[in-house]
Amino acid sequence: MEPGEWSEHELREHIRSVIADIAPIKGGGVKPSSRLTHDLGFDSLGLIELVMTLEHELQLPGVDEQTTVPLELAVDVENLIVASALPRGPVAIRSQI
């Protein structure tokens, strides 16, 4: 996907793609209901890395470490990033993973 405007649907798909790329456990795809720790193998440091990767790529303000603690499902990450990204207007991707 080229830099430019993202719809919420496109942004959520991209977030799931990044989750799949970074997840310690590969295969099976990432669905909104995928459990970050049990299904995808993330630990707390991995969740912070995931959120920081998305923040950097989408040029979003930093999320504090406490915000990553309640992240249990892929949709939780989607909601966190979408809430940060969409109010700012169009989202431009800095780089592709």
Residuewise pLDDT in 10s, the chain (97 residues) = 443 478 899 999 999 999 999 999 988 789 999 999 999 999 989 998 999 999 898 888 777 666 666 889 999 999 988 888 875 554 554 444 4
Whether 16 is in a domain gets the answer yes
8 Å CB contact between 78 and 12? yes
d(CA 60, CA 14): 15
Task: State residue 59's pLDDT score.
Answer: 84
Task: State residue 69's pLDDT score.
Answer: 64
Domain that includes residue 58, residue range: 8-88
For residue 64, give the CATH number of its domain.
1.10.1200.10
DSSP 8-state code for residue 92: -
Whether 55 is in a domain gets the answer yes
Residue 35 φ/ψ, nearest 5 degrees: -85, 125
DSSP 8-state code for residue 71: -
Domain count, the chain: 1
Whether 95 is in a domain gets the answer no
Task: State residue 64's pLDDT score.
Answer: 67
